[in-house]
């Protein structure tokens, strides 16, 4: 059985761990947008901890237009039907060139449509 002081220390350690995860990752904001945002999704190549939206839709929709993580840049295919099956472009961060603009997937030399 855990005594009172050890239990208190355990609660503090767990609380600090959760707080640190919330501060140093994208987890809390991604959970919030998944729960409240219409049309928000995380690309299958990424996850809740590392995906970061970098440019949002200007209209009433609550979805990202561009995002990134440690490995890829992502761009939502706004010309396609994103209502039911979101389509997006991705490119490796190392595949950038001198004309690269992370907010314009047309400048991405080597990109795939997912």
CB-neighbour burial class of residue 75 (10 A; exposed 0-12, middle 13-18, buried 19+)? buried
Q: Quote the pTM value.
A: 0.77
Q: How many domains in the chain?
A: 1
Q: Could you tell me the residue range of the domain that residue 48 belongs to?
A: 4-113
Among candidate residues 110, 107, 106, 59, the one with its CA nearest the CA of residue 82: 59
pLDDT the model gives residue 83 = 57
pLDDT mean values, one per 10 residues, the chain (114 residues): 80 82 82 86 93 88 89 84 72 85 87 74
């Amino acid at each position: 059985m855990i005594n009172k002081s050890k239990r208190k220390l355990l609660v503090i350690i767990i609380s600090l761990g959760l707080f640190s995860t919330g501060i140093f990752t994208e987890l809390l904001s991604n959970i919030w947008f998944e729960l409240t945002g219409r049309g928000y999704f995380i690309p299958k190549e990424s996850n809740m901890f590392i995906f970061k939206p970098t440019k949002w839709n200007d209209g009433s929709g609550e979805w990202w237009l561009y995002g990134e993580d440690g490995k890829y840049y992502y761009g939502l295919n706004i010309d396609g039907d994103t209502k039911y099956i979101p389509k997006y472009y991705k490119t490796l961060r190392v595949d950038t060139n001198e004309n690269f603009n992370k907010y314009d997937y047309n400048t991405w030399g080597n990109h795939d449509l997912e």
